[in-house]
Amino acid sequence: MIGFLIQRILQALMVVIAMSVIVFLGVYAIGNPIDVMIDPASDQALRESLIQRYGFDRPLYEQYFIFMNNMLHGDLGESFIYRLPVLELILSRLPATLELALTAMMIATCLGIPLGLWAGYKPDSLSAKAIMGFSVLGFSVPTFWVGLLLIMAFAVELGWLPSGGRGPTTEVLGMQLSITSLEGWSYIILPAFNLALFKLGLLIRLTRAGTIEVMSSDFVRFARAQGLSEGKVVGLHVLKNISIPIVTVFGLELGSTLAFAVVTETVFNWPGMGKLIIDSITVLDRPVMVAYLILVVFLFVIINLVVDLIYGQLDPRIRVKAAS
Amino acid sequence: MSTASVTAAPAETRLHRLANFWADFRQSPVAVAALAVIVVIVLMAVFAPLVAPQDPYNQETLDLFDARLEPGEIGSGGYVHWIGTDAAGRDVFSAILYGLRTSLIVGVMAGALALVLGASVGLVAAYYGGRVEALIMRVIDLQLSLPAILLALVLVAMLGQGLPQLIAALVAAQYAYFARTTHGAASAERRKDYIEAALSTPLPARQVLFRHLLPNALPPLIVVATVQVANSIALEATLSFLGLGLPLTQPSLGSLISNGFQFLLSGRYWISIYPGIALMLTVVAINLVGDQVRNVLNPRRSR
Amino acid sequence: MSEAVLRVKDLRTQFKTRAGVLKAVDGVSFEVGRGRILGLVGESGSGKSVTGYSILGLIEPPGEIAGGEVLLNGQDLTRLKSEAMRKIRGAQIAMVFQDPMMTLNPVLKIGTQMIAAVRAHDRVSRKVARGRARDALAKVGIPSPEERLDSYPHQLSGGMRQRVAIAIALLHNPAVILADEPTTALDVSIQGQILAEVRRLADETGTAFVWVTHDLAVVSSLADDICVMYAGRVVETGPAADVIASPRHPYTAGLLASVPAEHEPGTRLPQVPGSTPSLANLPPGCAFAPRCAKAGPACTTTPPVQHFEDGRTALCNYPIEPVSCQPLSSTSTTYRSAS
């Protein structure tokens, strides 16, 4: 088990390092960042001093090592545009994104698992077919387009909910959160639902497939032969068995939800990390781009690691394999 | 006569197989309808210059007096703008037809290139085995654990805007799916005895690769390819919507929607809603067809 | 024979498929008394498992019970509503399946599964339920039952798992246990232990067993009575010893002749020619006729059930004449009760 853990951690480290090189090179190798930072008409002395200050005159690999060294000390550079430390900038946007992503995952889970269970329990019923149709829409229609439709329907036509932005926030454990107030919810519900749709479609499919498989298994037949009620069969046997793939996907999808938040945040003008990165790409604010990408990859790797560990806890068969 | 029947036999069975495939495919009326939608969409895109009342990118035919006309109004061109005009006075219907062209070209090109690249990588991994396979598949797995949108974002940020850059980004973000699929099917076949036997004869490698390994990977590849074309179209639209895809001089459905987004809140919904409907129809139809192809090709499909 | 606990009368189960209506069980009748073991014998596809599922009301669409009665202590189970049937399943009539690898949920502890089975019928606390589960494990001869309750199925051997399944079936002291090829997947030595255990349980608890199997060796050593099925119909019934000693239906005779143990070493093993017909296109009349050496012109219509004076029956126009009773080879073990 320890060996497995160490192997996974080493692997994770390698991914982060590889990604940091690719991202750094890719992002810094194009264009001249100095042109973005200052007015092209400004004098040569200012130019020189800035080049010196940011180290643009050094060879790329030196810049990378300086960058990595700084990163290890928690310094990811300074935004060209906001003139703020990048880490501070990104972290200030993190709660908004996390709040959005977690609310979306919650919506997807609370709707997706029951709907998927039903669709798998009665696969031939009309309602199951409607659920499956919905799930196809959920993960094939592009997120941003659904977002537009939601704004169109609930903000423009019905006028029930605001069309974008984030509501009033209160500080909880040092983080600014908006889900603490009803008004905050009115702002988050549309983008969260929008972000949830893809996961919802995925979760419905996954739960349905798992349910159909488990329902046709011998142990469900045996459980019924023991006189277990249908509720007990589903609640005990089906739920426990499908929980394994679902937890895996849930974990992996948490990472991709953070990535997909880029789209939803842009549509709903939600002031999170995703909005920040899109703005940064458009104006070529490189330190922000690099730091964001490395941070997201880092989060991803951590999530994958945790999912692997939870997976082992849930499935006794794996636990035995890992131990032996 | 005998020679004719011998040469005709394989063609006949192939035809027969195709007929069988169609018979199975037809079982789902939804999939048949989706296929019809795709055919109509492709035809409209291909013959856009003939179908569209206006060439939306010929500046001379545009008139700012026609800007933001509502659906059904008649503009200075003397014809009805059935679904309105955009801020530059472009007929939205015409813009959609030309946008469809771009979207379909991007989707099909990216899908096809990703298929070729991914299938090659997967075949090479399955054929050589050992360390080469382990290394390639490790990289593929790592890449698959990152969401495609993130990879595409990085690549677009690195490569800049433009059609070739965009397609390159989409291919790089999606080839891994093909590689994993090909590798899965081909390596299962690779382990069979007859391949070992073929390898011990002086048969050229390409014969084993293309005669035995590739055909086994084809059915799942077809399914992945259908879905990935839809994904490419959706991903391109998303990138364009974010302002990172194609420039407005070469608009796809995504850029059209993005272009109309600012007018949505003021009630001029048609500028982005109709391109969106076209996008949705395209993507959903391809996915539905892909689903049914998967059902038909899956040998253990159970109903 | 004592009063029958379970009496199946003219049971018919069909599956509606695209290829037409498949009569998987076509007029099956048999009965089994308290503490007795009935061997339900047939090849795969003969409808013996479907018969078991029909009795428990576990037939799912496109299958349905088209007719007949399943009388458990006089009550017709086919007429019960689903909730009433659920209350009977596991409590009065239980079932054990073929593959012990598959019948226990791999991700739930043995204890969790057994407690759920207890509480499906009795509203008792978890603690009481756990106690009863432990007792049931002890009853089927599982060592250190308390520890086993905290095990996962994969930590047990195949034989142990099948004992657990039997223990679950015994939890509510049912009147009847249907066992669907429960020892087929096990080693022969383990099979022997379990058969001995089952015989003991039948004698001690009075539970009746319907032992579904394709293995005549198992039946000859375990069952009191035999019921042979072919293509959804019962072709022969009678006391196990008599049927094995002197089969009256040509199919039973063919089956018996192809048991290796009863055969002279070094000579070619006789087989029943041909293969089991598909239910989708059964021949008219006797389904066995195309493979039968004794078949005659009368076999193109459904043969009558012949009742013989010793209480045995055969579904045949040309039954084999009885031979004088001779004991089975003395080497084979017998778990049949002395009665």
Per-residue confidence (pLDDT) for residue B5, from 0 to 100: 40
Per-residue model confidence as pLDDT tens digits over C208-264: 999 888 888 888 888 889 998 888 888 888 888 888 888 888 888 888 877 766 566
CA A213 to chain centre: 29
Q: Write the residue in C107, C120, C169 that is nearest to A229 by C-beta.
A: C120
B152: nearest CA partner in chain A: A259
Task: Look over chain C and give the mean of its residue pLDDT values, rounded to a whole number.
Answer: 82
What is the domain class of A86-143+191-323 according to CATH?
mainly alpha
Judged against a pLDDT cut of 80, whether residue C89 lies above it is answered with: yes
Per-residue model confidence as pLDDT tens digits over A277-305: 888 887 777 778 878 877 877 777 787 77
Per-residue confidence (pLDDT) for residue A317, from 0 to 100: 62
Average pLDDT over residues A64-75: 77
**Whole-structure pTM over 0.90, yes or no?**
no
Place of tokens 């899956």: B298
Q: How confident is the model at residue C339 (pLDDT cuts 50, 70, 90)?
A: very low
The verdict on a CB contact (< 8 Å) between A256 and B241 is: no
Per-residue model confidence as pLDDT tens digits over A101-120: 889 988 988 998 999 999 88
Residues of chain B contacting A143 with CB distance shorter than 8 Å: 238
Q: Among A63-72, C77-86, C118-127, which is the least confidently predicted range? A: A63-72
Per DSSP, chain A holds a count of helices (H) and strands (E) of 14, 2
Q: Write the residue in B145, B149, B286 that is nearest to A260 by C-beta.
A: B149
What CA–CA distances, in Å, run from B79 to B73, B85, B271?
8, 12, 18
Average pLDDT over residues C13-20: 82
d(CA C276, CA C230): 8
Q: Which helix (H) or strand (E) holds C314?
A: strand C313-315
Residues of chain B contacting A142 with CB distance shorter than 8 Å: 234, 237-238, 241, 279-280, 283
DSSP B23-38: HHHTT-HHHHHHHHHH
Judged against a pLDDT cut of 80, whether residue A137 lies above it is answered with: yes
The verdict on a CB contact (< 8 Å) between C105 and A317 is: no
A277: nearest CA partner in chain B: B153
Positive or negative, the CA dihedral A254, A255, A256, A262 is positive
CA-based R_g, chain C, Å: 20
Per-residue confidence (pLDDT) for residue A115, from 0 to 100: 92
DSSP A203-259: HHHHHHHHHHHHHTSHHHHHHHHTT--HHHIIIIIIHHHHHHHHHHHHHHHHHHHHH
Question: Does the beta carbon of A241 lie under 8 angstroms from any beta carbon of chain C?
Answer: yes
Return the axis-axis angle of helices A286-314 and A86-121, rounded to nearest 10°. Answer: 40
Per-residue confidence (pLDDT) for residue B113, from 0 to 100: 94
Q: Name subunits touching C (3+ CB pairs < 8 A).
A: A
Q: How confident is the model at residue A30 (pLDDT cuts 50, 70, 90)?
A: low
Question: Does the beta carbon of B64 lie under 8 angstroms from any beta carbon of chain A?
Answer: no
CA distance A104 to chain C (A): 29
Instruction: List the 99-158 stretch of A: residues with Cβ below 8 A of B.
Output: 136-137, 140-145, 148-149, 151-152, 155-156
Per-residue confidence (pLDDT) for residue B116, from 0 to 100: 92
Report the range out of A59-63, A254-258, A296-300, B133-137 with the highest average pLDDT. Answer: B133-137
Query: Tens-digit pLDDT profile for chain B (303 aa)?
Result: 444 444 444 556 777 777 888 888 888 888 888 888 889 888 888 887 777 777 777 666 666 666 666 666 666 666 666 677 776 667 778 788 888 888 888 889 999 999 999 988 988 888 887 788 888 888 887 777 777 887 888 777 777 778 888 888 889 888 988 998 888 888 777 777 777 777 777 777 777 777 777 777 788 888 888 888 888 888 888 888 888 877 767 778 888 887 777 777 776 777 778 888 888 888 888 888 888 888 787 654 433
Contact B232, B172 (CB under 8 A): no
Average pLDDT over residues C35-59: 86
Per-residue model confidence as pLDDT tens digits over C269-316: 777 777 777 777 777 788 888 888 777 788 888 888 888 877 788 888
Per-residue model confidence as pLDDT tens digits over C100-110: 778 888 888 88
Per-residue confidence (pLDDT) for residue A269, from 0 to 100: 85
Q: Write the residue in A217, A225, A317 that is nearest to C90 by C-beta.
A: A225
> Which structural domains are found in chain C, ordered by start?
1-92+174-261+270-276 (3.40.50.300), 104-171 (no CATH)
* Beta strands per DSSP E along chain B: 73-74, 80-81
Per-residue confidence (pLDDT) for residue A41, from 0 to 100: 65
The verdict on a CB contact (< 8 Å) between C90 and A228 is: yes
Q: Write the residue in A30, A136, A148 that is nearest to B288 by C-beta.
A: A136
Q: How confident is the model at residue C329 (pLDDT cuts 50, 70, 90)?
A: very low
The residue among C59, C72, C105 with the most chain A CBs within 10 A of its CB, best to mutate, is C105
Q: Write the residue in A222, A228, A241 that is nearest to C103 by C-beta.
A: A222
Place of tokens 């049937």: C85
Structure tokens given for B107: 């989707």
Per-residue confidence (pLDDT) for residue B4, from 0 to 100: 41
C209 — alpha (psi -120 to 50), left (phi > 0) or beta? beta
DSSP B216-284: HHHHHHHHHHHHHHHHHHHHHHHHHHTT-SS-TTS--HHHHHHHHHHHHTTT-THHHHHHHHHHHHHHH
d(CA A120, CA A204): 9
d(CA C192, CA C198): 10
d(CA C246, CA C2): 24
Per-residue confidence (pLDDT) for residue C189, from 0 to 100: 80
Contact A209, B298 (CB under 8 A): no
Instruction: List the 183-222 stretch of A: residues with Cβ below 8 A of C.
Output: 217-219, 221-222
Q: Name subunits touching B (3+ CB pairs < 8 A).
A: A
Count chain A–chain C contacts defined by CB atoms under 8 A. 81
The verdict on a CB contact (< 8 Å) between C165 and A222 is: yes
Judged against a pLDDT cut of 70, whether residue C324 lies above it is answered with: no
Residues of chain A contacting C99 with CB distance shorter than 8 Å: 218
